[in-house]
Every structure is written in structure tokens, then in C-alpha cells.
């Protein structure tokens, strides 16, 4: 999954030229070639919205979950700690490029602890804490730190929640989630990535994360229902099996919209009648969800 939060003045032709097909559309973004000036979709600060939105839920989650109470830092957390601290300070907590700051103290602390470099191929580990996605092979990337933190924040995981991730990729997002709850399930369709992510998760002390190689569209029925589901690829509609596997009151975070164009990062909450409450976070562009060949 490729994802990039764009600061004012970044050029689409440069980004696409280096293979960044999926991006978050930050304020002031502009396609300088074609003149496209995408709207700022997020109308409210993430994690600080009205009574029925993320503010109250985030506050509840922060009160319910002691900071990093679930597990000890992974072995590689002793390495490159200063780089992670700088990443959190300048990319997440106090960005200067107009993107919405990450405000959940739990998420910020976890991002300081989890060693992103340990979930990357050795040849690109030097790039672990840059403000960018980084290729990890098989035409996939490890997501930009900011988007991992943002999606984690709006997912609003509480202690004891059962969480399903669609698109394991490197395993980094699953490791971050594992500091919030002991019930993390993750599915990756690319078999070599699924195997490597599992190895890296075990090596870093996350052996309790449940990993599966398969079509994420189908979800994980035998582990359902889930309190939260996160998708790291785009779909033009909410996958039916995933919605069915979400608890009433549960949150589903995904890039929703046309897979050949721009999407919205949304938080969908399941109402008692099965309907959806929608919170729009920001404009994004993600690669499409990959399906098994016989499912197309």
C-alpha cells in the first residue's frame, strides 16, 4: 500500500514519477500540470470533533487504556530511538506543512516505541524514519508514518477490542495496533509479504498477532465479530462481508471512492439498525484492493 500526506506545493508529476500512486490530499495541494486543486475534505480536526464524533470516543479510549499497558517495547526499540522521537515531533505531533496534527497521546507514544525499520527490507532501512512511504517489494510499500498514526487515531481502539486489518503489508500497522489491544487479526493477499510480516512480528515480540494469507475482502468469519476494521487499500464500496463481521457500534476505517481516482478516508460506525454513520477525515488516493483472481 502506498500512501503519502501532501504538504502545500508538492507536485503530482514528481510524486507519480517516483511511484507514489496513493496519496493523502493535504490543504493547498495542487496538480501544477493540470490545474487540479482538490478540496480539503476534512472540515474538522481529527480527534477533536463534536459530541457524537471522534472527540468523545477518543477521550473515552484514552481514559480506558493506560499508556502502553499491554506489552513491553520490542527488542529493536532500543535502536534509532532519537530518529523516532524526531519523526513523532516533526511529522506527527507538530507538523509545519498544514496537515492535521496527531493528538492522541497513546498513538504518539506507540509511534515513538515501535521500530519501523524492523519491518522493512535491509536495503531500505536507512529510509525508515523519513516522511514518506518506502518500497518493501512486490509493488507494495510500508506506509508513511503519518498515515499509520492518523488511521490508528481515527480507529479509536480500546483495550480488549478485537481488530481486523485488511492488508498486512510489512506488519508495521499490526504492530502499532497490538500496543492498543491484544486481539489483532491481519490478512495479506501477497504470500511472500504475509510470510515476511509474520516472521518480523514474531521476532519483535508480536507473536500473539493473528496472521493469515488470503483475500481480505472475505474477512475472517470465524474470528468475527470485530470491534474495529481497518483497510489499507481503496474500494468503491464497503465490502459486504466486512460490514457483516463488524459489531454494532464498531468502526470501519477505509479509503472509500472510485479506485481509479481520489477517495475519502472515512470512519463508518455501525448503527443498531445496520446502517452507517459516516465521518469524513480527509481526501486520499490509495491503490485498489487486490482480490483473488476467481473473485473478479
∠ CA 111-180-49 to the nearest 5 degrees? 80
Domain positions in the chain: 12-295
The per-residue pLDDT for 250 is 98
The per-residue pLDDT for 71 is 85
pLDDT bin (cut points 50, 70, 90) of residue 260 is: confident
The per-residue pLDDT for 141 is 85
Categorise residue 9: left if φ over 0, alpha if ψ from -120 to 50, beta otherwise. Answer: left
State in words which class domain 12-295 has.
alpha beta
Q: What is the pLDDT of residues 42-59, one digit of tens each?
A: 323 333 333 333 333 334
> What is the SS3 string spanning 30-65?
CCCCCCCCCCCCCCCCCCCCCCCCHHHHHHHHHHHC
Q: What integer is the mean pLDDT of 16-27?
A: 43
The per-residue pLDDT for 137 is 92
The per-residue pLDDT for 5 is 46
Q: One of 43, 52, 143, 261 is an active-site residue; which one?
A: 143
| Predicted model pTM | 0.79
Estimate to the nearest angstrom the gap between the alpha carbon of 156 and the chain centroid: 12
Q: What is the pLDDT of residues 63-83, one digit of tens each?
A: 333 345 468 899 999 999 999
Which one is predicted more confidently, 185 or 66?
Answer: 185
CA distances from 39 to 30, 48, 228, 253 (A): 10, 20, 28, 20
For residue 119, what is the DSSP state?
G
The per-residue pLDDT for 26 is 53
Tell me if residue 143 is catalytic.
Answer: yes
The per-residue pLDDT for 30 is 30
The per-residue pLDDT for 258 is 87
Q: What integer is the mean pLDDT of 136-157?
A: 93
The per-residue pLDDT for 163 is 98
User: Mean pLDDT over all residues of the chain?
Assistant: 81
pLDDT(148) > 70: yes
Task: Give the least confident one: 37-46, 101-110, 116-125, 141-150.
Answer: 37-46
Q: What is the pLDDT of residues 200-232, one digit of tens each?
A: 999 999 999 999 999 999 999 999 999 999 999
Separation of alpha carbons 58 and 53, rounded Å: 9
pLDDT bin (cut points 50, 70, 90) of residue 157 is: very high
For residue 290, what is the DSSP state?
P
Identify whether 7 is preceded by a cis peptide bond (ω within 30 of 0): no
Amino acid at each position: 500500500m502506498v500512501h503519502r500526506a501532501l504538504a502545500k506545493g508538492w507536485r503530482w508529476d514528481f510524486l507519480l514519477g517516483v511511484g507514489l500512486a496513493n496519496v493523502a490530499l493535504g490543504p493547498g495541494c495542487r496538480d501544477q500540470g493540470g490545474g487540479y486543486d482538490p478540496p480539503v475534505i476534512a472540515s474538522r480536526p481529527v480527534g477533536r470533533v463534536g459530541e457524537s464524533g471522534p472527540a468523545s470516543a477518543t477521550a473515552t479510549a484514552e481514559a480506558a487504556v493506560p499508556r502502553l499497558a499491554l506489552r513491553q517495547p520490542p527488542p529493536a526499540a532500543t535502536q534509532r530511538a532519537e530518529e523516532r522521537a524526531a519523526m513523532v515531533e516533526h511529522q506527527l505531533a507538530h507538523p509545519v506543512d498544514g496537515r492535521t496534527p496527531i493528538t492522541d497521546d497513546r498513538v504518539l507514544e506507540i509511534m515513538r516505541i515501535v521500530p519501523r525499520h524492523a519491518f522493512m527490507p535491509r536495503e531500505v532501512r536507512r529510509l525508515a524514519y523519513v516522511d514518506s512511504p518506502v518500497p518493501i517489494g512486490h509493488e507494495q510499500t510500508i506506509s508513511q508514518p503519518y498515515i499509520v498514526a492518523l488511521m490508528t487515531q481515527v480507529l479509536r481502539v480500546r483495550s480488549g477490542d478485537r481488530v481486523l486489518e485488511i492488508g498486512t503489508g510489512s506488519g508495521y500497522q499490526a504492530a502499532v495496533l497490538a500496543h492498543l489491544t491484544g486481539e489483532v487479526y491481519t490478512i495479506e493477499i501477497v504470500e511472500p509479504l504475509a510470510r515476511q510480516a509474520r516472521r518480523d512480528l514474531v521476532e519483535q515480540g508480536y507473536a500473539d498477532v493473528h496472521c493469515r494469507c488470503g483475500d481480505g475482502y472475505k474477512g475472517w468469519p470465524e474470528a468475527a465479530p470485530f470491534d474495529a476494521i481497518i483497510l489499507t487499500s481503496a474500494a468503491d464500496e464497503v465490502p459486504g462481508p466486512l460490514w457483516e463481521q463488524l459489531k454494532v457500534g464498531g468502526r470501519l476505517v477505509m479509503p472509500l471512492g472510485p479506485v481509479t481516482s481520489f477517495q475519502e478516508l472515512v470512519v463508518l460506525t455501525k448503527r443498531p439498525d445496520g446502517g452507517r454513520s459516516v465521518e469524513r477525515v480527509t481526501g486520499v488516493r490509495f491503490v485498489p484492493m487486490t482480490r483473488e483472481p476467481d473473485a473478479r
